[in-house]
């Protein structure tokens, strides 16, 4: 019944962003947000499996993982963490502007978020390049020049002190986990650009209701959330002592 009345009485107290299958905006908003969290739950399980594998092998091969991790530059990692945290802030400001119906501000904040995401990927590109240069990707030619890859402290009395299989496992996990995360960043860039386009075109789906913008925000914060754990686990490994 509400569907019939809604279509026939515009401007009669009905929110223009309300879809006909919902009672009111509160119900619609809750459905949207809960739906997004259901998706994020599957993402938690998706990344969770990788974190589990990491935990298991890190526990077993602590020393080898430590030596292998020294090729990573924590300064770049910290820079990228800051960039992502800041992009989460600009994202949340975009949502706030959407609530206040400040269209230009929304587009500006989303634009800055995209720029942060691209900065993150550029840094990641340089990090990956340095790994490729030293053959630190899993495969038959893994770390053919171990001295160049891991430095002097990978050697004890001239003999290699790191088990290459375990080091390879570390870089397998590194590329899987940061790579999957980077794919999420790339997808995020696409979604945010699509959202900017909707705002630019004053699409009904976004200008009357802030929740679609909020849902993109939830996705983006989740990507940030994963990185919050990846950063200490890969870049800040404590020295075995």
Partner 1 sequence: MASNSSSHTHEHHIVSTGTYLLTLGALVVLMGLTVAIAQVNLPAIGILSGTVVNQLVALLIATIKALLVICVFMGVKWGTTLTKLWVIAGFVTLPLLFGILGDYCTRKYEQQPGWEKIEDGALPRISYENPAKPPADSSELNVKIRQ
Interface residues with partner 1 (CB under 8 A)?
13, 15, 23-27, 29-30, 33-34, 37-38, 40-41, 44-45, 48-49, 51-52, 55-56, 62, 74, 78, 81-82, 85-86, 88-89, 91-93, 96, 99-100, 140, 165, 210, 214, 217-218, 221-222, 224-225, 228-229, 231-233, 236-241
Report d(CA 164, CA 197) in Å as an integer.
Answer: 48
Query: Could you tell me the smallest distance in angstroms from the CB atom of residue 228 to partner 1?
Result: 5
Q: Between 127 and 224, name the residue whose CB sits nearer to partner 1.
A: 224
Both tokens of residue 72?
Answer: 């990573």
Instruction: Tell me how far, at minimum, the Cβ of 16 lies from partner 1, in Å.
Output: 11
To partner 1, the closest distance from the beta carbon of 105 in angstroms equals: 11
Q: Give the separation between CA 107 and CA 111, rounded to whole angstroms.
A: 6
Closer CB to partner 1, 26 or 157, in the complex: 26
* Residue 69 or 196 with smaller CB distance to partner 1: 69
Q: Which residues contact 71 (CB under 8 A, 6 or more apart)?
A: 130, 131, 134, 136, 149, 150
- Residue 200 or 231 with smaller CB distance to partner 1: 231
Strand-pair partners of 160: 155
For the bound state, the minimum distance from the C-beta of residue 191 to partner 1, rounded and expressed in Å, comes to 16
Q: Which is nearer to partner 1, 175 or 229 (CB)?
A: 229
């Amino acid at each position: 019944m509400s569907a019939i009345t809604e279509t026939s009485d515009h401007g009669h107290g009905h929110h223009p962003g309300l879809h006909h299958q919902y009672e009111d905006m509160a119900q619609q908003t809750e459905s949207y947000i809960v739906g997004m969290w259901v998706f994020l739950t599957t993402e938690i399980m998706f990344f969770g499996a990788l974190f589990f594998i990491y935990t298991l092998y890190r526990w077993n091969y602590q020393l080898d993982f430590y030596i292998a991790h020294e090729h990573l530059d924590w300064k770049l990692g910290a820079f990228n963490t800051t960039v992502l945290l800041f992009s989460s802030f600009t994202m949340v400001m975009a949502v706030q502007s959407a609530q206040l119906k400040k269209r230009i501000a929304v587009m500006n904040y989303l634009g800055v978020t995209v720029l942060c995401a691209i900065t993150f990927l550029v840094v990641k590109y340089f990090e990956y390049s340095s790994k490729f240069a030293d053959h630190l990707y899993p495969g038959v030619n893994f770390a053919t020049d171990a001295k160049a890859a891991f430095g002097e402290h990978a050697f004890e009395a001239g003999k290699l002190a790191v088990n290459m299989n375990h080091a390879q496992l570390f870089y397998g996990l590194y590329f899987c986990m940061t790579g999957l995360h980077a794919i999420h960043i790339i997808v995020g860039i696409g979604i945010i650009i699509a959202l900017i386009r909707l705002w630019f075109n004053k699409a009904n789906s976004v200008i009357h209701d802030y929740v679609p913008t909020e849902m993109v925000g939830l996705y983006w914060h989740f990507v940030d959330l994963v990185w919050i754990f990846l950063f200490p686990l890969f870049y800040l490994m404590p020295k075995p002592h």
